[in-house]
Amino acid sequence: MRTNYLILSALFAVLLAAGCGKKQAAAPQPAGNQEQVAVSTDVAGDFIPDVGNYGTVAECPVNKEKIIIGKGTAAVKYKNKIYYLCCPSCSQQFKQNPEKYMNVN
């Protein structure tokens, strides 16, 4: 019994010391003469609502439904503004053509 314990302990120590062996590749660094690419804010992308906005009321720009912002609320950031949507379907529609739903009364 004691021999089994020693073998298991030794095996555990070897595995612990070895780690998984995976190494994370370093991100390539741009050379000094390469141009930096700016990230466009004109692309509609998914956004996670800020906890500070939970419980506030927003209006879905696609179907004009009033929604209460929470953890599962669909949100899209477009041109540095956050749009809250009532469902994933409205989120997809908005992302396909955000200009259609902006500033519409």
- pLDDT of res. 47: 86
Threshold 0.75, pTM exceeds: no
For residue 61, the enclosing domain spans 45-101
Q: Please check whether residue 38 lies inside any domain of the structure.
A: no
pLDDT at 42: 73
Has residue 49 been placed in a domain? yes
CA distance 83 to 50: 12
Among 68, 64, 56, 54, CA closest to 90: 64
* Residue 2 falls inside a structural domain: no
Would residue 74 count as lying in a domain?
Answer: yes
Does any domain span residue 61? yes
What CA–CA distances, in Å, run from 25 to 22, 29, 30, 36? 9, 12, 15, 21
Looking at residues 67-86, what average pLDDT do you find? 93
Mean pLDDT of 82-86: 94
Nearest-angstrom CA–CA distance, 50 and 86: 16
Q: Is residue 19 part of a domain?
A: no
**Residues 69 and 53: beta-carbon distance below 8 Å:** yes
What is the number of structural domains in the chain? 1
- Position 15 confidence tier, pLDDT thresholds 50, 70, 90: very low
Asked whether residue 37 is assigned to any structural domain, the reply reads no
In a domain, 13, yes or no: no
